[in-house]
Structure 1
């Protein structure tokens, strides 16, 4: 299947952005101060990564025409096997005990959670995502109050750094987007317009809600106050809506420029084409460096990560094509699907 370069570019930006979120030196974002703009990587990079997971699921299961019958069963097997391997890789990275909040276990759970809705129409997926964008943050906030004791399952699903009940919103949106003809210019422009609108609405209303809470003379519980913010990883409805819009706008821009700047953007697309390998490698390198990776006074280490990823991924892509971990996922998932198909036959 022909790769969509714009999606690879967006995925590459997401990975490079997560490098910055983990080892970059940033200041709180103020839109009128360019020196603070690097802070955009915090929270939003991982959300773009999750939204693109939904796009990948759509590609695996037929793109604009969802598969059915035998092919649908094969797609489900592929997704399940990929999820299992990604979960295993994620747990190994967590075992390295870095300060990085590893996204891969939740990423795997979201892959599995998307299986029941593989044949939903884009409109149904977007409506479901919209409802969950409002309901899920409230549910997570209530759970945080009712379950104060740390529990691995509850943490993974509801109260962790990447609560699956909230992050499924981004996957559903991505799956809906993947069901559209994203190679069509009119679709790309609509995604850009919708994304920009959601970003302005989500962040704008969030800022207004936060100001109202701060100016209120009535006592406001901390957990309720966190629902009226746009802070990264707050999981508030405003952050979910605003960051979804941001991710959509970035994806749309990447799709729009891909055909006209394919060669100069090839290194970023190369990183995106092997996002799992690039992400895993950076966590391993951070584990080797130790706590010093998080005590930098400047962005030298971050720039080194960016440069290294661009050079190494470009070289690998030119020489070998698909990334090393991506090869394993593709081989294992295709093998499982073929074996299951033969067994049923």
Structure 2
């Protein structure tokens, strides 16, 4: 299988969406990336910036002053859905890989997951107040491996089942591990008790996998994404509000994970509502709907305005580097508190300028180069010097550019 340019998300080739970029010396080269997905990744990264350094409300309400709260929870879920799309595209897009190609795709994903886990661990060691999400992403990449050959319908059915069953299961498991005083064990934290429990987030990677198996350049598919996204948002956020009125009127809806601090004490309020990071079925449905709409809109806008969206696409094309750099920057600056959104805006502007300049001059981000090189070497070992394939490759590389 052909090696593909990737970052945290593992991009893919698509001639219909290839982006024309300027190169040094006035030349041009084609970067076979879906620009709209990179734009969506950039928005997800900027949303996580806001959650980290912005002075934003905890949740969105009717008042416009709360609307910036949309970044809480939804940005990271958008990124997880995009990761699922990228895994699908790496493993064959609309035609899932089989045989040796499937083995190589899985091996590349495992190598990338290992790097993402290691980078996430290093960022955690910095001791910032940020709940670093990379460790959970690494687990999700591995959890996606058994599903690479599944068709979209089965993937969506599995995602729906997880969306319903995972929240109460996590609640039960969280109560159990809390009673056993093992809630801080690394694996338990990643899977159940952490800020991003993998058992719940498994839904998002499967949804992305199903979307990635679709023809994303198709207008009907994009319309379906918007319609399905709006429907899920209404069901999730509307249903969460109704459930709160029925089950939890006058009581805080803490979510399953917060309920783990009270072993043996149960309250239906923990499974109601759709607040960010509550881990409820309603939050899952609403946030997936939000992600689908954002992805569809970004695909359309990027197709129509490829030049205007280039700076955003540059950020999205090196999302792992950008995310890692932001955590390191926050560690270095170490502010006591952010009282306004000035730092958020500064992070966004600096990131856009640096990422666009880097991509124009150097191409891939540094961490993306590392992941691509190491995963390709692992899955596609170097050919012997005497092999016809290597000789042919060398002769092609030695030809002058025309």
User: Is TM more than 0.5 here?
Assistant: yes
Work out the CA distance in 1 between the residues paired with 2:335 and 2:174: 29
Task: Return the match for 1:201 from 235, 239, 243.
Answer: 235
Say which of 185, 192, 202 aligns to 2:226.
192
> For 1:74-113, what aligned pairs fall within 5 Å after superposition?
74-113=104-143
User: Do the aligned partners of 2:59 and 2:276 also contact (CA within 8 Å) in 1?
Assistant: no
Matched with 1:18 is 48
Which whole-Å deviations, capped at 9, do the CAs of 1:254-294 have from their partners, x for residues lacking one?
Answer: 111111122222111111110000000000000101143xx
Question: What number of residue pairs does the alignment pair up?
Answer: 338
Tell me the distance in 2 between the aligned counterparts of 1:251 and 1:29: 21
The structure with the largest alpha-carbon Rg is 2
Distance, in Å, in 2 between the alignment partners of 1:223 and 1:62 is 44
Does 2:289 match 1:259?
no
2:290 aligned to which of 246, 249, 259: 246
> Cα distance, 1:339 vs. partner?
2.1
Residues 190 and 100 (structure 1 numbering): CA distance in 2 closer, same or farther, change over 3 Å?
Answer: same
TM-score w.r.t. the length of structure 2 is 0.81
Mapped contact 2:247–2:268 kept (Cα < 8 A): no
Q: Secondary structure at the match of 1:215?
A: coil
The corresponding residue for 1:181 is 215
Q: Does 1:27 align with 2:57?
A: yes
Find the residue that maps to 1:67 and give its secondary structure.
Answer: coil
Name the counterpart of 2:333: 289
Which one of 131, 155, 170 corresponds to residue 204 of structure 2? 170
CA contact (8 A) 1:182 1:188 kept: yes
1:54 matches 2:54: no
Partner of 1:212: 246
Structure 2 unpaired stretches of 5+: 1-12, 14-31, 252-258, 260-264, 385-402
DSSP-derived class of the 2:215 partner: coil
Q: CA deviation at 1:216?
A: 7.8
In the aligned structure 2, how far is the partner of 1:135 from the partner of 1:18? 27
Q: Secondary structure at the match of 1:259?
A: helix
Query: For the residues of structure 2 that align with 1:136 and 1:196, how far apart are their CA atoms?
Result: 23
> Where is the helix percentage greater, Structure 1 or Structure 2?
1
- Give yes or no for the alignment of 1:41 onto 2:71: yes
For the aligned residue pairs, the C-alpha RMSD in angstroms reads 1.7
Aligned to 2:189: 155
Work out the CA distance in 1 between the residues paired with 2:382 and 2:360. 33
- 1:215, distance to aligned residue in structure 2 (A): 3.2
1:222 shift after superposition: 5.6
